[in-house]
Amino acid sequence: MSINDMSFKFAGEAGQGVESTGRGFAKALVRGGLYVFALQDYHSRIRGGHNFYQIRVANHDIYSHDEKVHVLLAFTQEAIAEHLREIVPGGGIIYDPELQVDQDALVSRSVKAFPVPVNQIAIEEGGNKVMSNTAATGAAAGLTGLDLEVINSVIRDNFAQKGTAVVESNLKVAAAAYRFVREKYGDSFAFRLQTRKTAPRMLISGNEALALGALMAGCKFVAGYPMTPGSPILEWFATHSKDYGVVTKHAEDEIAAINMVIGAAQMGVRAMTPTSGGGFSLMVEALGLAGMTEVPIVVVNIQRPGPATGHATRHEQGDLLFMLYAAQGEFPRIVLAPGTIEQCFEAAYRAFNLAEKYQCPAIILSDAFLAHSPRALELDALSLDVPIDRGEILSDEELDQLTTRYQRHALTPSGISPRALPGHPKAIYSTSSDEHDEYGQICEDAAIRIQQMDKRMRKLETARAEMRAPLQYGPSQARLTFLTWGSAYGPLRSAVDILNAQGTSANIVQIMDIWPLPVDKVVQALQGAKKLISVEQNYSGQLATLVRAYTGIKVDGLINKYDGRPMSPEYILARLKEVV
């Protein structure tokens, strides 16, 4: 029978190509007209350690993985032991006969064994055992009835740079494994996939969407020090820098990176630095420099568990409150927390617009789950018609007409001082990390300190009116209202769909514009909630704390997770029973 929602899991050690194989298979599924959501899980090491790449596939849009596995492709003995219990009754496991499988365990769980000599096929057909992963994808396609041509199209693209011989060898290996499975197992596997003719779709992760959104916003300078899980943004720009004229700098550390970004932004260049929590910690003093000098920069924090090194390659949402108050003293900043691929793209260009409009740092707060999990989207899901707002920048004509000395930090009702980009003879000024007067010169006068502090902080209230209302999903009147932010939205959306289908009305209030918190809009969104439950990937419920502090609204329960692994719809539903 065909199924409209099933999962594959590729599992093995680091160095075995688990991620690249899984990503290639996910691309093939998308080219077959199906929707995909993929989850990557890996240890903090180059080789060894158990890794997996899970792909959920359906003929409708999906926002999360789930805990069910229909086909396990096991490359190691550990993979079999680790994931056998996840396979659904009637599901199957593809493995090389060199591995050992407890047949009694399979029978007890109604799981089918599909031994495929992927190593032998790779050597005989391709001349190299390294192509066993290609054989595994061919076997998975054969078992589920996926058209081999979509596998072949990905092989041609992935190996094109390695030459025709490598491409042809991999095509032979995939075809041989496909034939082996079809001839030996035929249609004995119940779960089948059927390709469909659809408009082309893209497979894109949160980090890729953030990078693309920043590019479309006119970002021309990116500096960073590699830190998982923020590194792929730096790598993306390094790969495409020549194509799009973006200067990409691998700095010696995070302190240097953010200071380079401040320097570029001071000259009028849209500039960004990607990092994770530990790297952001090093940037904090310079973040205050950008706040004091009112330089618009964008910082992307892709969260991972802390404190210290924490779990370097895993997932958490523990930095929210830190982002709001990082650096000594008080100054305005914008904090956006996207929860979907589309929102990542949008948050990137909005961050640049807001940073320049309010002349302050803008922080994008994402996390490893959203960063690394690709999802299939329609090609028009990310609008390339990106609005650009550079804020109050004085033109050359306006500067020509100045009859008095330019005041970079002029007092204004909005708190926003007209900005002049360097280069004009009347736009010469100094600005200091010390407190300063309207001209940017160091000043310790108490009255001027009050004036400049009040001016800067007025920008928060000006910006608050522009912050967007929380996004709502589900019926307006519901028995359960879930409050959430960031990537927890995806699994929660799937859980809410299940609840509503079962007759338990539920909806979601997702806050994306975190700071300055649009208090009135949050209160309005939460008014009438019969039972309010916060869903967060941290220990203390940081969003719930923030909402209570500024609105007085207290949640009735907290569903949280902080083991370094993302939530699943099943996890949320199981925990819901404990808090309702």
Mean pLDDT across 226-246: 96
Q: Which helix (H) or strand (E) holds 48?
A: strand 48-58
What is the chain's alpha carbon radius of gyration, rounded to the nearest angstrom? 26
What mean pLDDT is reported for the chain? 95
Mean pLDDT across 189-205: 92
| Entry pTM | 0.95
Cβ count near 296 (within 10 Å): 27
**Residue 148 CA to its chain's centroid (Å):** 31
Is 31 strand, coil or helix? helix
Q: Which helix (H) or strand (E) holds 323?
A: helix 320-325
Question: Residue 360: is its pLDDT beyond 60?
Answer: yes
Mean pLDDT across 269-295: 98
Contacts of 120 (CB under 8 A, 6+ apart): none
DSSP 464-475: HTTSPPPEEES-
Residue with tokens 């300055």: 516
Which pLDDT score, from 0 to 100, does residue 277 have? 96
- Check if the beta carbon of residue 122 is closer than 8 Å to that of residue 129: yes
Q: Which amino acid is at 248?
A: T
- Check if the beta carbon of residue 373 is closer than 8 Å to that of residue 205: yes
Rounded to whole angstroms, the Cα distance separating 551 from 518 reads 10
Rounded to whole angstroms, the Cα distance separating 124 from 557 reads 58
Mean pLDDT across 307-318: 93
- Check if the beta carbon of residue 302 is closer than 8 Å to that of residue 235: no
Rounded to whole angstroms, the Cα distance separating 137 from 146 reads 10
- Check if the beta carbon of residue 24 is closer than 8 Å to that of residue 160: no
Rounded to whole angstroms, the Cα distance separating 264 from 270 reads 7
Question: Residue 92: is its pLDDT beyond 50?
Answer: yes
- Check if the beta carbon of residue 327 is closer than 8 Å to that of residue 360: no
The domains located in the chain, with CATH, are 5-198 (3.40.920.10), 204-378 (3.40.50.970), 471-579 (3.40.50.920)
Q: Which amino acid is at 343?
A: Q
Structure token pair of residue 18: 């688990």
**pLDDT per position as a tens digit, 558-570:** 999 999 999 999 9
Phi, psi of 104 (to 5 degrees): -65, -35
Q: Which of 318, 331, 302, 386 is nearest to 539 (CA)?
A: 318
Confidence of residue 3 (pLDDT cuts 50, 70, 90): low
Q: What is the 3-state secondary structure (H, E, C) of 450-492?
A: HHHHHHHHHHHHHHHCCCCCCEEECCCCCCEEEEECHHHHHHH
Mean pLDDT across 227-237: 96
Rounded to whole angstroms, the Cα distance separating 461 from 464 reads 5
Number of residues that this document lists for the chain:
580
Question: Residue 13: is its pLDDT beyond 50?
Answer: yes
Percent share of the chain, pLDDT over 90: 93
Question: Residue 19: is its pLDDT beyond 80?
Answer: yes
**pLDDT per position as a tens digit, 492-511:** 999 999 999 999 999 999 99
Which pLDDT score, from 0 to 100, does residue 16 have? 87
Which pLDDT score, from 0 to 100, does residue 1 have? 41
DSSP 56-70: EEESS------S-EE
Rounded to whole angstroms, the Cα distance separating 149 from 141 reads 10
Which pLDDT score, from 0 to 100, does residue 46 have? 72
Q: Can you name the residues that pair with 272 across neighbouring β-strands? A: 222, 298
Strands (E), 253-297: 271-275
**pLDDT per position as a tens digit, 29-58:** 999 999 999 999 988 877 778 999 999 999
Contacts of 480 (CB under 8 A, 6+ apart): 499, 504, 505, 506, 507, 530, 531, 533, 576, 580
